[in-house]
Each structure stands twice: as structure tokens, then as C-alpha cells.
Structure 1
């Protein structure tokens, strides 16, 4: 086998492109790589060269990659169903089939539809049970497409029709199809060029949202089934390009709520489903720095509101007919952030965060016709792992059953039904992990690193206790994100076992810029404090080395999208600290992208990163932008991935990053670039195709650490 040095890496041509601002000149020799049509022959030739080089360098470890892929796939129970959810006269669930990439959407009649739902309910499946009906088989729909994804699947209130949003390119531009749930025959013509935000208005109409030329959701439409899309009426047009629209139905299914939001401000319109002819009405008017979201029950709207003063949010209520008659149900608390609110006919469930961990608290509500007062005596659901993830499921509004999804770094995804009247909790489904998996073999824990400014930064950790020695000799994969107030809670990923079972420790650095520790945690990692995100990650890495979880020569890092920005930034800042880095669909050309309002999502992002048209932000962003800070120094081994059709981070950003690294870096360490030519931001669409990406990344890491078996 030829050595990797026998084939030279691709060299992108250099075409000088100067960009001047504030008497500052930036030279981008690889600006030409951006082609909005994605059809430029020179650009495609370069990407194909990079893919061929990556294939060549990794060809010697193909056996190991195949082995890891077989391991990962072998843990999956390929033929399975999700925990059925009772809605009206049916149980709804999803089914996966052996060997099939995509799922089926199914339902089965409830035998005693008039009974009161119970946590002890079990969907009958025997020969005497009502037959299963497959409403939609994604495998059939995906046959003629390289990429296939359904963004939303919603049944009409009378359960006779289904609407679903379909993306066949990975560019997140959807087509909404409506069909008869029983016969699967189409109803009317599809709605094209739309988002996956849509809701039913009764059984004969939809409300949906479309995007402008930069993919900003900006118009709300009303569509009556059986009419042409061109005849649809526009309910609202958001003309401010800093704001985007979203749409959701109330748990009671009596109202639709349209949110108009920037990164700091959110206002709400509502549509009374019983009176759609009245159009959208203002519920919470736009006020700079005020962020609201709304639910409904009985005679009241419930409003979660955040402001500069109530930065972790408060929960309010107001009568339907007097939105100014505010009652504070849960006041603002400095140490507890209200993440989400789910309403039931007799209960209120609040998903909160404290000390970096999620919690679920529920309250009993007075009768619908009684006045609402400050809530007291909330009860918390107990969890067993020291670090974990818990997420809300759809409200079963008229029942007392709270469904939630639980997971930890050692606990597979689990669906629970919890009866808020009795306190009885029932595990309805836990993801089967084949291959002899035993959760007791793994240790999960939380550590706290001390950042440069004294801030304590939480780290979630998992390792296999019989393999990891904690003497500095163990390999580690450290993950980070740290943007958009996203909470990266510790959750299970069965493919990760292929690293853990080879003696790796896996850790998540919950750095500032995320939302794990509350709103201030986010605000202290954005704008002119964005570098806290990067220095926190470096401090976490050094802490883990100090505590002998690994050494520099065994430390690998991973992040994607805005987490790819993180990886790119820390590689420039501290390349000596890491052995290998994987950065997926990375946002690395910060200044150039944020100066171009024609790029999808840019205008809305000014409130996340800052507006570089302002001098202070320009120079601050330039000081950390990965492409702008690549320099002549040694870098660790690096793998960069992207998707040609990505609408969120243009493929050209990572392409330019790689080209500039090839030009300037002074080491001989491996640098690979892999571009999926038929995928978008979220890689390939099939469930097994996604596993191939994990297998490839893990093989790369093992190769760099010299952990490839001799026969691989």
C-alpha cells in the first residue's frame, strides 16, 4: 500500500480578492469557491479532488471503518416501533423495518375509545387487536431521491386527513402534501416552496409559512383545501429582515400562535381557529428586548416572558378578553430558568433549569372557570443519573398523563408516562441496544472546570469503568457547541459505544454561549464576549488533562455548525493542545458571511454575533473568525465535513478554511475535507447513512491516535 505521502493533497487555485472596511484590508484568495448555483466546474472539480484525496488517505483503514459501521448498526433493533401516543380514537406511532433507511407513520384504533387514558394503557397488537394502518411509508417516497426528509407530519382534527412537509434536497425548502389518511390518495395540489411550519385550521384548511430569497420565514398564509396555492390569502408579512416567523398550535387546539422573533425580541399573534375569518390578532406587541411565548387553557392565555430584568423568564396569565389583566403565576428567579411550559386541562408542567441540569415541575390548576393565582406547591419529577437530558412530548391535553423523553450518557432514550394525579410513572419504551450493552458498565459524572475569569464551567463525562484508568493514558473525545442559548444536555448515542468500548472517555464542555446555566450564561458568550466560548473550551480541556482524564497527545475534539466555529477558533488559538479535531459543517468565515445580507440567515444572526458593519464588532469578530486567523503554525490532524446543499452554513466556508490551512500550516499532519454532494446541513437523510458518517469520523480519530488494529 502506498503511504499517504505518495499522493499530494489538492491545492486550490488562488485568485486575489480584497475586501476593505474601516481602513482594514482582508485578502481572501479562495473567495471564488463560493458559487450560489453550486454548478461552477472549477469549484466542483476542487471539491471532488478533496473527496478523492480523503478517500485515498482513509483507504488503508476501510476495514476498520466497515467494522465500526457493523458494530454501530449491529446495536440497532432495526425492526421496531416508537411508544404509541393516544390521540382521539387512535394510537399513533412510527415503525422502522429491518434494512430500511426510513420510517413508516402508523396508527391503530383504540378498542375502547371512550375510556379515560391511563399510564397503564397498552396498545393491543395480537390477532384480536384492530389492524395496523400504515398512513405513510417514507421508504416508498424516498425511492427516487438521494436525500429525503419529512419535517412535519400532522393529522387533521377529525383524523381523516394527513399533511406532511417533504424535503428532497437537504436545502430545507419543503413541499406540503395533504392526503386521505385511510386511502393515502392526495387531496388537492401540494403547497410548494414552503417551510415545515404549518398547522390545521379545522379539517378543511391549513395555515403555513413561506420564506424570502434569503430563506427567512416571513409570510403566513391561509390555505383552503381544494383551492390553488396562488389563491391563498396572506395573513401577515414580516418586513423587518431581523425578524423571522414561526407557528404552533395551542395544546387546547383552539388557537394558533404566530411568533415574530429576532434573537432578543419575540411578539405573538393569535388566530382563533373557530373564527379564522377574523385573521391574526396581536396578543403580545413587539417591544425591544421582550421575548414572549404563549399557551392557552380555558379562559386564559399563559405567557412566558423574558426581559432584561426577568432574564430567566417569568410565567404570567391573562384573561382572553383582557390581555392587560396580568397575573404572575411563577415569578422570575435568578437561579432557575423557565425553559418550556406545557399545559393540560387540569395541570401546568414547567421544564426548568438549575445548576446546569433540567428539571420537570408540575402544578395542579384550579377549575377552568375559577380565577388563577400565583402557583404554589409544585411537584418535581425525580431522575436518577447525575447528568441527564429530559425533553417534553406533546401534551395529552384532556388527560393527567405527562409524557416525557429521558436519556443520559449511559441510559438509552426512554419514553415515560407520568400520572400527575397519582404520581405513578411507567416506562413505556426504552431504546433497545443490542450486542450485550449493560448500562452498569459505564460511569457518568459531572466535573467543574475553572475558567480564566473564575467562572465554573460544567463538564459532563462518561467512560467504561473497566477500561479507563484515569492516569492520563486514556484517549478522550471532547465535544462543545456554545451558541444560540442551545442546551447540550448529556444524552445517549449508541454509536458512541464504539469509542467507549475502546477505552475512550467522552466529555461535553457546557461552555458559555449555550443555555445550560441560564440566560446570563448565553449572554456572557455572545457579541463582544464571544471569546468566552472559546477560552472556556480551552480551560475545560486543560482541566481534563490536569485531572488525568487524558493528555494532549490523546485529546480529540469535535463540534459542528456553530460548534464548528468553536473548533476552528480553538485550533487557531491553541493548536498545541489537541491531537485531532473534527469540525462538521463549520461556520468559520464569520466576518465575510455576516457582511453579506444575501446569504441565508445572515440578517437574523446580527443579534447573535454582532453586526460587522459597525467598527467595534468588525474588529472583534475578525479577531476570532477561523478563516481570518489561520496562520503559519503547526496544527493537529483535522477532518472537516460539509454538505453541498447546506442552506445554513454554505459549503464554501469550510472549503475556504481547508484551502487556507493547506496553504499556511507548517506541519505534515493529516488534513481531510469531505463534502457530501447530495446532502445539506444535517448530513445524509437515511438512518443507516448517518451511521456511516459516525463510523468514518471514529475511524479517522482512531487512525490519528494509532489505534488501528494491525489487520485493519
Structure 2
């Protein structure tokens, strides 16, 4: 779990602007003295009172409701534009779309939407992809009448008779696990609360393996075994992780022979596995060490392991079943380390391994046969993303993968590892969209320290590179998560109005390898902020955008980026969107009771250490709000957010209102029935997006349709 969340050259025409003289007065939160203490000093936090873990404090709720009412009033003139953007986005979506079916254990699984539905139907077909459909989950019916609904992980029993699933009806990511008989549709009485959305069956078709959460920190810390028909209180503990800087997950190996428990921190991994036929005694693949990371999979008579041992950009090693007692000493290189290529993932097949890797900022796929022949899967654009798709059965020469770019809709292919033949399985339908009308580029912007930052760019043909266009720039840049380009139906309306869209692949991700991440976290975190600013200035200097017509967006840890950029270079941005922003870095990282805090000491630093405390204090957005002019700001949060608690952006907005010296709009949208990802349901999300898009377009002076 992490704090993370993603036009033609027309003349500028008059359109509704947020009129300051007609707007109501913004809400003002009360200031109440409070000292945040730490081993390295105390800080005044006059808005700390806005934190209420019960989410029932009437004064706090009144303030959030007042912010929503203020946002409604200020955004009222933009309602027609918002409605237009929403309708345009919906028009670019095939509403009755379905996924590409995949085969597992004799059944073909797929999902499909019915026109107008917010949620999909999940189905399976026995034997062939054209057999009569069996409805597994009717999500529209399951979500009916609920303010929030999310069906996450689900697993079918080995005998194909039952399905277990995880659902969340609050948005807090405290999932409830349930079980259904697929033949009769009957729901079992067995219900497991406060679990991770991660569930597996043992081979006996009666035992569920799941991860229980700590009720306070929401950390998954215990792997439990539940036998159907027994009391949850009698569930057997299989493993408990005592170190609160680690999180965990469970999965089966590719050949289904083993159930594995993986625990990970930012800098360390440990994996233990047991036979799925009797998952009671788990064997550690390799004991944890600091700065030692790995993940292992099994097929045939060997393990394949991705590891950073003596390989900063990772390598693949093999380990025969007979060598299990030798530990990591018995690992033998399969794909050696490279300074140029970063290995991001892999999937074993009988006779070959499919490898996901990064090179030159792009994610790509290559196939490595057991005979040692390496074949890259081709790409035809300068900036793209390629990744392995669902490949559930390893006894096939066909590998499924997806390809896309900022111009090319996501396409699912399969390629034959023996013959090289490639087949198109599906192109994501985007009604009313023609890729030929758009241009994508890969640029390299110089950062202030000389580093070249990759930038993925898209705009509509006809937009002149004369320094007059509006620019919308996005980035994330944390946890080693890379931001890959793709076609977004919700972005097309902006492109068609002349907006240039850019992804800044800043340090903190892993687009350029592990070193790219190392240079963008802990005591190098400020590189993420300055990279983003330097990309903006480069694009303006190269006449891709007008200096007064730049907007920026980031969410979660990308919201931290937005807060930092707003403090460091407010003059470079006309408007900023910060969704569920992690902006109160020091106070949050001082409190181990807050979900995610202990996991992330190696991402941001532990402020109990003065060196990290001082460094974080210098960039924490909340702590650096000053009496100066800020860009127009749209800030979003969810009351039930478990990743970035609602009170972080609430406090930030309150302090900005008190201190900023400009008359630019500052809007705070609080989803009172949602968590980190906002409201559930595909159309609800589109409506939310249309609101901030209308805000951005109005601030950039972009014409209506």
C-alpha cells in the first residue's frame, strides 16, 4: 500500500471565469493552539484539531461541509462546461465493453459492462470462450443503494465450485471476505472482516488463506487459515509479521504448487512458501537483509527469482528444487545485471521466460528461451508502454501483453515465443477518436544538476509550437512507481481544445532504473520537485507552452509533489490540482498509529532522526506555507481515505487560506462517502474528473467547445 493514486490550436474565446466579486467568502477554520512534539523539537499546529479518527466531530464535519458548499458556489458558473466535458468523455467510452477472456483451470473468465452501468458483470464460461456464460458477480446489483462499493480480489476454488472475494463498502480499504457456491449462488455464512483484499484457497477446497489487518494502523500483519463452516475466532495463525515497517501479501506460484507469503519494506524482502496441498509449514526462500530485495516464482523443477543482489537494476537467477537447502548461495544467473536495462518483472512459461524491463524510459517486453535466445517484442513509437497481460496457464507458447502510448489506445496482443507470430486480441475502443489527429513526442529536459529528465508529450495536430498553447503537466515520482503513457478518454476533450499534455518522468520513479528512484527519495526527495519545475521551464522555453498558461496535477504522493511545487515555484503555474495530497509529512511520519507511516520510514525518512526531521521539514508543504501569492488551487480528498488521511489536505487548505496573499481561487472538494480513490463507479469518477478539468480549463483561458 502506498500514497498514490493518474488540443487544436483554437483561438482563446471568452468563457465563464470564477468571478471573485460574486463569490461567497471562503470558510475559515478556527485556530486552536497545539504543539506537535518530537525528539527534535516542537512545532505549532493550529489546525491539528481537524483530525478526528472517528470522523464524527460536529465542528470538523461542519467545516468540511462548508468547504464543499463554497466549492459548489465558486464552481457554479462552470457547470455547463463540466457537463460538456463529462458528456464528451462518456461519448469516448464504449459503454457495453468487455475484457479479453482468459483461460484458467478449464474455464474462460471475463468481465463486461452494460450500457449505463457503473460496475461490471464478472462471468466465466466452461471449456470454450463461446460457451454459455455463468454469472459470478453482478456488481451493479451488489452496489445498489450503497454510497461506495468496491469488489477487489477474488479467487475460485481449485475444484471450480466456490468463489471467495473481498469487498469494501466504505472506502477505508478494510475489506470483508465472503464465499459463494457457484453452482447454487448461495452465500456461505462465513464472513471475515478487516482483511486485506488478498485471498487464496488451499488445495483441499475448504481452507481460505487471507491476511488480517491491525484495526488501528490497518497494516496487514497476520496470515490466517479459515476452514469453511468454522468460527472465524478459530482460524489458524500461519504467520505473523512483528516488524511494523513491513507489509505483506499472499499468492500462488505460476504452477500452483506453492502458496507464498511475501513481506516487503522499501529496502528488504522476505518470501516463505509452503505446498498448496498442505500450507502449514512455510520455508523461507532467503532471509531478509537490508538493501536485499527479491521475488520468487516456481515452475517445473526450478525457482526463478528477480533480485537486486549484486545487481542494482535487478537480475534473474534460477534455483533448482534440489538446491533449496543452499539458500541464496545456490542461485545461478539467468539474466545478468545491466547498467542500461532495469528488470521490472517476469513470468515463467514452459520453455521460456517473459521479462518486463525498462530501457530509455520505456517499459518493454522480451522473451528468453531456455536455449538462451532473447527476442524483444517490437514497438513503433518513441514513447510507449508495454506490459505482460493475464497469463494464467504456462503450458503455451503464446504470451499476452498490452501496448499503448499517449496516442495509441491500449491494445492486447499475444505473441508466439517459438515462431514470432503476433495476433491482435483487442484494441481498446475509443468512439469518436482518431489517433491520426494527434502527435506524441519523447523529449529530454535538462534538470538544474544536468540530469536529463524524460518527458512524454501529446497534442493535437495543428497546435502551433509558438509559445502560446496551454500546458497541462502531470507527474507522480515516488516509491519507484513509474508513470507510463496511455490514451485516456477523459483527456481527449482537453487535447481537442488545444491543450498540450505532458508526463514528467521525474526522479523518484524507476523509469530510468533503480538509481532514478534512489535519487528521488529520502535525502534526495527535493530532486522530484525541482525536476518537475525544470521540465515546466524547459517546455515553456522550447515554445510548447505559454509562460502564463501552465497547469499541473498530482495525486497522493504526487499531491506532495504539487504542494512542494506550489511553495517552491508558484509563479510558474497558473493552476494546480492536488488530489488526496500527502502534505503534512513531518507530523504524519511522527505518528506510528497512522496507516502507512511505519512502512515508509525508508521512503521519506524517520523524523526521530534529526537529519531526516530537518530535511523533511524543509520541504513538507504544510510546514512551508508562506505569506505569498499561490496559483489557483483545486484540492480533493475523501473523508474515509486510509492512505492519506483527510485532515492533511484539510489543514493545508486552512493554512493556505490564512496566509496566502493572492485572490486566486482555492477550492477544497471533500467526498464524504469515499476513500483514497474517490467515489466508486466509473461514471461517478468521470463526473469528479470533469469538475477539476473545467476548473483547469477556465484558469488557462481555454475556449469551450
Which band: TM-score by shorter chain? Answer: over 0.9
Q: 2:241 aligns with which of 238, 241, 245?
A: 238
Q: State yes or no: 1:341 paired with 2:346.
A: yes
CA-to-aligned-CA distance 1:489-545 (integer Å, 9 cap, x gap): 111211100100111110000000111111010001111111001011111010000
The alpha-carbon deviation at position 393 of structure 1 amounts to 2.1
Question: What aligned pairs does 1:151-166 form with structure 2 within 5 A after superposition?
Answer: 151-166=152-167
Partner of 2:190 in structure 1?
189
Question: What aligned pairs does 1:210-609 form with structure 2 within 5 A after superposition?
Answer: 210-212=212-214, 213-277=216-280, 279-307=281-309, 309-323=310-324, 324=326, 325-365=330-370, 376-395=372-391, 396-434=393-431, 436-466=432-462, 468-609=463-604
Alpha-carbon distance in 1 for matches of 2:540, 2:320: 56
- Structure 1 residues 624-633 or 353-362, which shifts more? 353-362
Q: State yes or no: 1:36 paired with 2:53.
A: yes
The alpha-carbon deviation at position 708 of structure 1 amounts to 5.2
Alpha-carbon distance in 2 for matches of 1:51, 1:660: 17
* 8 Å contact from structure 2 (residues 497, 702) kept in 1: no
CA-to-aligned-CA distance 1:348-393 (integer Å, 9 cap, x gap): 1110111211111112226xxxxxxxxx321111011211122222
Q: State yes or no: 1:89 paired with 2:106.
A: yes
CA-to-aligned-CA distance 1:386-415 (integer Å, 9 cap, x gap): 111222223221211111122211111221
* 8 Å contact from structure 1 (residues 136, 184) kept in 2: no
Unaligned runs of 5+ in 2: 1-15
Q: 1:681 aligns with which of 676, 682, 693?
A: 676
* 8 Å contact from structure 2 (residues 38, 590) kept in 1: no
* 8 Å contact from structure 1 (residues 412, 430) kept in 2: yes
- Structure 1 residues 87-96 or 52-61, which shifts more? 87-96
- Structure 1 residues 183-192 or 21-30, which shifts more? 21-30
CA-to-aligned-CA distance 1:401-460 (integer Å, 9 cap, x gap): 1111222111112211222122111111111111x2100111011000111111111000
Q: State yes or no: 1:79 paired with 2:96.
A: yes
* 8 Å contact from structure 1 (residues 61, 708) kept in 2: no
Q: Secondary structure at the match of 2:548?
A: helix
The alpha-carbon deviation at position 3 of structure 1 amounts to 4.3
Question: What aligned pairs does 1:166-185 form with structure 2 within 5 A after superposition?
Answer: 166-185=167-186
* 8 Å contact from structure 2 (residues 40, 613) kept in 1: no
Partner of 2:631 in structure 1?
636
Alpha-carbon distance in 2 for matches of 1:564, 1:42: 26
CA-to-aligned-CA distance 1:88-122 (integer Å, 9 cap, x gap): 322210010011110010112234xxxxxxxxxxx
CA-to-aligned-CA distance 1:232-277 (integer Å, 9 cap, x gap): 1111110111111111111111111211111100011001112324
Q: Secondary structure at the match of 1:194?
A: strand
Partner of 1:5 in structure 2?
21
Q: Secondary structure at the match of 2:60?
A: helix
Aligned-residue RMSD, C-alpha: 1.5
Alpha-carbon distance in 1 for matches of 2:279, 2:36: 50
Q: State yes or no: 1:667 paired with 2:684.
A: no
Alpha-carbon distance in 2 for matches of 1:455, 1:144: 52
- Structure 1 residues 352-361 or 413-422, which shifts more? 413-422
* 8 Å contact from structure 2 (residues 314, 343) kept in 1: yes
TM-score, with normalisation over the residues of structure 2? 0.95
CA-to-aligned-CA distance 1:615-663 (integer Å, 9 cap, x gap): 1111100000000000011111010000000000000000111111100
* 8 Å contact from structure 1 (residues 407, 490) kept in 2: yes
The alpha-carbon deviation at position 144 of structure 1 amounts to 2.9
Q: State yes or no: 1:67 paired with 2:84.
A: yes
* 8 Å contact from structure 1 (residues 14, 29) kept in 2: yes
Alpha-carbon distance in 1 for matches of 2:352, 2:209: 28
Alpha-carbon distance in 1 for matches of 2:370, 2:230: 42
Alpha-carbon distance in 2 for matches of 1:319, 1:354: 30
Partner of 1:209 in structure 2?
211
Q: State yes or no: 1:652 paired with 2:652.
A: no
Q: Secondary structure at the match of 1:497?
A: helix
Question: What aligned pairs does 1:91-106 form with structure 2 within 5 A after superposition?
Answer: 91-106=108-123
> Relative contact order, CA 8 A, sep 6+: which one is greater?
2
TM-score, with normalisation over the residues of structure 1? 0.94
Q: Secondary structure at the match of 1:525?
A: coil
CA-to-aligned-CA distance 1:106-161 (integer Å, 9 cap, x gap): 112234xxxxxxxxxxx33xxxxx32221111111111311111111222222221
The alpha-carbon deviation at position 188 of structure 1 amounts to 4.2
Alpha-carbon distance in 1 for matches of 2:40, 2:133: 68
Partner of 1:127 in structure 2?
none
Alpha-carbon distance in 1 for matches of 2:298, 2:461: 48
Partner of 1:50 in structure 2?
67
Unaligned runs of 5+ in 1: 112-122, 125-129, 367-375
CA-to-aligned-CA distance 1:561-585 (integer Å, 9 cap, x gap): 0000001001100100000000000
Partner of 1:135 in structure 2?
136
The alpha-carbon deviation at position 23 of structure 1 amounts to 6.1
* 8 Å contact from structure 2 (residues 559, 579) kept in 1: yes
Partner of 1:114 in structure 2?
none
CA-to-aligned-CA distance 1:318-342 (integer Å, 9 cap, x gap): 1223232221111111111110010
Q: Secondary structure at the match of 1:78?
A: coil
* 8 Å contact from structure 2 (residues 563, 583) kept in 1: yes
* 8 Å contact from structure 1 (residues 64, 708) kept in 2: no
Alpha-carbon distance in 2 for matches of 1:176, 1:587: 29
* 8 Å contact from structure 1 (residues 135, 182) kept in 2: no
